[in-house]
Each structure stands twice: as structure tokens, then as C-alpha cells.
Amino acid sequence: MSFNFEGYLSEETKILSKDIYHNNKEYFNLVKDYNELCHRFKFNIEIHDKNAQEVSISGLYILLLNSLASIYELTLRGLTSDAKVVIRSMVEKLIKLKFCSLDYSNAIQYIQQDEIKRLKWMRIIKENKIKGFSEQVTQSISEDDIKIMHDHLKKHKIKALPNLEVLSKEVGLEELYSYVYRLFSEEIHANPRTIEDLFEYNEKNDIRTVKWYPDVKKLLPEIRLILMTSIDIIDKTLNILFDLYNTKDKKDPRTTQYMMLNETLLKLSTTNNLQMK
């Protein structure tokens, strides 16, 4: 059926995707090339199940690669608003990965956040202010259980991570954080500006009709910005891992390919007047 009746799940989306890819071929190809390099590089990461730093970094790395794939698929279908939401989540993952890479104790603190959240949820369930939990569930948690968990956090000096803005400053990614969060905040909060392009207007700027089908030409700048920003985040991720695993030998095929991809990234950034943060 047509886009009018099935939207982005219709067969017409395939035509839309071909059009979008054709007009942004070099950008989508660069995403795929970076993705391939990243996936090959992951096999060189040693992970020991008792090593908090290796576990946390590898886990966040995989999440970042999954997000990159999501952005590729979303932008290929013209779903730019949703892709921007994923971009913001990528920034958070990158900041936390960088934090974990700087010191082993940071990785421990990152993993311990689960225990802080556990105590928080124990209290929420016990209080049951929203009446969303059954009596059986609320009674399964006692005040003693909450006190034991509280004392555990206090005894081991488990502290919450700073908010993301503060954390970005600590790891040297404040500029990226500010850039992405400011640029893509409209989509996260579904502000009025996000729906402006869903309508057509007359010369008096009155709404004439709803635009069910996206305008590919108008999408081009957004698509390129999203793809380039996602690649920049992955590029920064790779540099963290190269430093962490001492991959600096220019003869290493991983870094040789990386240098070529990075050169293309900078070239496309300059072409589109984008300053990668």
C-alpha cells in the first residue's frame, strides 16, 4: 500500500530510501566504512570477566556501534527526528566510555551506579505512591532490606556519578556535549519547531495541508549533519580505544585504514562547513 496509508512501513519507503541514498552516497558509505573498521577492531579487545574497565568499555563500545547502525537505518528512511534522539544517546555513551577509560576506579564507579538505582527503586516500590505495584510486590521489600542496601552503599562509599554536563567537562568532551545537546534538543522534548516541517503553508504562512511524505531535498542538510555527527562520535571513540590499547603503529592496518577514513571525514566536514567538535 501507499505511504498515505502505511507511512514509513509502506513499500514506497524503499523508493524514498533509494533517493536519500543517491543524494548522500558518500556520507552513508563513510558510515559503513567506519562501522566495518570498528567491528573488526572489537576482536582485538581483550575482555576479562573480573575486569570492570574492560567490561564497561567493551559494553559501551557495542552500544555505540548499535546506535550508529540505528542512525544509518533511520536517516536512510528520512526519520531524522528519531535519528537525532539516538545521536544524543550516543554522546552520553561516549562520555561514559571516556570516563571509564581514564581510570580503573572510574569504571568501578560507573558499574556501581546500578546499586544506587537499585536502592532508589526499592524505595519507589515500597512507597508505591503511584499505586502501580501490587501488594505482593511492595511487601516483598522490607524496611530492613532498604536499610541493608543503604548501609552497603555508605560502607563502600558508593557515590552517584555527576550529571552528564559535569561529567563531559571532567573528560574533556564539554564542547561536543554542548553542541549536540543544544542542536538536537528540539526533538528530545518534541518542541513546536519539530512539527513545523510536517505542514505546507501558503503565502500568508497559514497551514494549507499536512505533508504526509517527506521532502527529500529539504532533508539533505539534516541527513548530512546527523551522519557526520554520528561519525565524529565514533571517530572519537576509536581514538580513545587506540590510546587505551596502544594502537599507534602506522603500519597497523587498523590505524592505516583509520587515517584514510579520518581524512575523508575532515574533507566532508569542510565541504559542508561543519566543524567537528
Torsion of CA 221, 222, 224, 226, to 10 degrees: 160
Q: How confident is the model at residue 89 (pLDDT cuts 50, 70, 90)?
A: very high
pLDDT exceeds 70 at position 20: yes
Average pLDDT over residues 5-10: 86
Q: How far apart are CA 92 and CA 94, in angstroms?
A: 5
Compute CA 196 distance to the chain's CA centroid, rounded to the nearest angstrom.
25
Is the torsion defined by CA of 232, 233, 235, 239 positive or negative? Answer: positive
Q: How confident is the model at residue 261 (pLDDT cuts 50, 70, 90)?
A: very high
Q: How far apart are CA 262 and CA 128, in angstroms?
A: 52
pLDDT exceeds 80 at position 116: yes
Q: How far apart are CA 208 and CA 215, in angstroms?
A: 16
- pLDDT (tens digit per residue) in 21-71: 999 999 999 999 999 999 988 887 778 878 999 999 999 999 999 999 999
CB 94 within 8 A of CB 236: yes
Q: Could you give phi then psi for residue 33, rounded to 5 degrees? A: -65, -45
What is the pLDDT, as a whole number, of residue 63?
97
Q: How confident is the model at residue 250 (pLDDT cuts 50, 70, 90)?
A: very low
Burial profile 88-98: b = 16 or more Cβ within 10 angstroms, e = fewer: bebbbbbbbbb
CB 122 within 8 A of CB 145: yes
pTM as predicted: 0.86
- pLDDT (tens digit per residue) in 140-199: 999 999 999 998 999 999 999 999 999 999 999 999 999 888 778 777 777 777 777 777
Q: How far apart are CA 69 and CA 55, in angstroms?
A: 21
| Residue extents of the structural domains in the chain | 3-108+162-271
Instruction: Quickly list DSSP for 60-78.
Output: HHHHHHHHHHHHHHHHHTT
The alpha-carbon radius of gyration of the chain (Å, integer) is 23
What is the pLDDT, as a whole number, of residue 273?
60
The set of cell numbers assigned to 163 is 550529571
Q: Give the 3-state secondary structure of residue 89.
A: helix
Q: Could you give phi then psi for residue 207, rounded to 5 degrees? A: -65, 125
